[in-house]
Amino acid sequence: MNTADYISLEDQYGAHNYQPLDVVLERGDGVWVYDVDGNKFMDCLSAYSAVNQGHCHPRLVKALSEQAQQMTLTSRAFRNDKLGKFYQTLCETTGYEMTLPMNTGAEAVETALKAARKWGYRVKGVEPDQAEIIVCDGNFHGRTITVVGFSSEAQYKEDFGPFPPGFINIPFGDARALEAAITPNTVAFMVEPIQGEGGVIVPPQGYLKKVRQICDKHNVLFMADEIQTGLGRTGKLFACDHEEVRPDVAIIGKALSGGFYPVSAVLASKEILGLFRPGDHGSTFGGNPLGAAVASEALTVLTEEGLIDNANELGEYFQERLAEIPSPHVKEVRGRGLLIGVELKPEAGGARRFCEALQDRGILCKETHQTVIRFAPPLVIKREDVDWALEHITEVLNME
């Protein structure tokens, strides 16, 4: 089978809910991936920041395969010997008191929304079924019906209504709009500290601090969706750490397992997560020993191997060097750590053709929002890899 055969097989039997680049990958190692024709590419997407630890990290391969031979799934009807240790590693690494494990990011977001509503009724004293949660325009929190219901992206919602009520949208990065939108029924504000899918949008300096103050003043939970920005991607454990702000609820996923297995989690205080009673919420696979074993190791790899500092150092370097590239097409380079967006001018003809040109030169990127090229390589990247990529990016950003 060649590339065309693999693609036609996918297209024949699978729903076409993605438009992937025409590259069929079969192997990965660190920042590098290899296709079925033997071509080598630098992965500058990292599966939307799920592979922060690099492809097939040997310690994660070991943790996964050892656990797979031992025990994979118990369900939460029984306890397993890996879950408690995972909780402990997660809470000690992040400084939160409690966690609730799920699988995908969207499930963790749903869990956080449930937690916020429950807290609103039980602790804040909001009347039944009146809770309001404030979210931002341009958000991306996943693809469930509840979550797309408060997306401002028309295509995410089209044909999928009706949607659950109780969500209010405000502009991103605007602290005044947040304060103005709060009512006595507001239980939470949920926000991405940097909007990833929205186009790598960095809010104004001081925004998250103001959000913290406003939420404190009005007794509203501050919930950060750190699924993409968390776990080292931006050069700190959490993107909120750049403003030394601690949300009441942090939602993580993606890199929590280093891309081996879907593992997500909600992190919060006992006051919030302690409200869940047996039977309130659950997931067959959530907290399974295979996921717990690999996620514990993935967190340890992040901290022990200095990946967060590397993201900070090389992210700054990458971003500075990108901004220096003389190019007729670039409007702005922005981001934090190794979450970098290059926004092209409207007349550049869209980001897709630049991503395809980068693919021809051995770099895999994905455009976001038509005009932004996102560079988010695994955090194990080395300076010489960045330099190699910059050479090719310079050429591509100077094509006709």
Ligand X SMILES: *Cc1c(COP(=O)(O)O)cnc(C)c1O
For the CB of residue 143, give the shortest distance to ligand X in the complex, in Å. Answer: 6
Q: Which of 109, 178, 191, 386 is in the footprint of ligand X by CB under 6 A?
A: 109
Which distant-in-sequence residues (6+ apart) come within 8 Å of 75 by Cβ?
284, 288
Q: How many residues bind ligand X (CB under 6 A)?
A: 15
Q: Which of 228, 295, 242 shows the shortest CA–CA distance to 93?
A: 295
Based on the shown chain and the rule CB under 6 A, indicate whether residue 234 belongs to the binding site for ligand X.
no
Among 52, 99, 104, 327, binds ligand X (CB under 6 A): 104
> Is the CB of 327 or the CB of 368 nearer to ligand X?
368
How many Cβ atoms are within 10 Å of 30's Cβ, its own excluded?
A: 20
196 lies in the binding site for ligand X (CB under 6 A)? yes
Residues, the chain: 400
* Preceding amide of 162 cis, omega within 30: yes
Q: Are 239 and 205 in contact (CB under 8 A)?
A: no
- The two three-digit tokens of residue 191, written as one number: 């926000």
Q: Going residue by residue from 250 to 269, which x/- string records binding to ligand X, judged by CB under 6 A?
A: ---x----------------
CA angle at residue 20 from 104 to 49, to 5 degrees?
40
CB of 205 to ligand X, least distance (A): 21
d(CA 390, CA 368): 20
Judged by CB under 6 A, the residue of 52, 94, 228, 319 near ligand X is: 228
Q: Which residues pair with 251 in a beta bridge?
A: 225, 266
Which residue, 253 or 259, is less far from ligand X as judged by CB? 253
DSSP string over 214-273: HHHHHT-EEEEE-TTTTTTTTSSSSGGGGGT---SEEEE-GGGGTTSS--EEEEE-HHHH
Q: Binding residue for ligand X (CB under 6 A) from 192, 243, 343, 367?
A: 192
- Give the nearer residue to ligand X in terms of CB position, either 197 or 367: 197
Report the alpha-carbon angle 141-342-386, nearest 5.
105
Decide if residue 225 touches ligand X (CB under 6 A): yes
Among 290, 305, 303, which Cα is nearest to 260's? 290
Q: Reduced to 3 states, what is the DSSP secondary structure of residue 364?
A: strand
Which of the stretches 59-67, 180-188, 225-233, 295-303 binds ligand X when contact is defined by CB under 6 A? 225-233
Candidates 67-75, 137-145, 289-297, 384-392; binding stretch for ligand X (CB under 6 A)? 137-145
User: Contacts with ligand X in 25-64 (CB under 6 A)?
Assistant: 48
Compose the 341-380 pattern: x for residues touching ligand X by CB under 6 A, - for all others.
----------------------------------------
Q: In 3D, which of 235, 228, 300 has the Cα closest to residue 49?
A: 228
Cβ closer to ligand X: 237 or 393? 237
Q: Which two tokens stand for residue 93?
A: 């690494």
142 part of the interface to ligand X, by CB under 6 A = yes
Q: Minimum distance between the CB of residue 351 and ligand X, rounded to whole angstroms?
A: 18
For residue 305, the 8-state DSSP code is T
Q: Are 257 and 263 in contact (CB under 8 A)?
A: yes
Which are the catalytic amino acids?
Answer: 140, 225, 254
Binding site for ligand X (CB under 6 A): 48, 104-106, 109, 140-142, 192, 196-197, 225, 227-228, 253
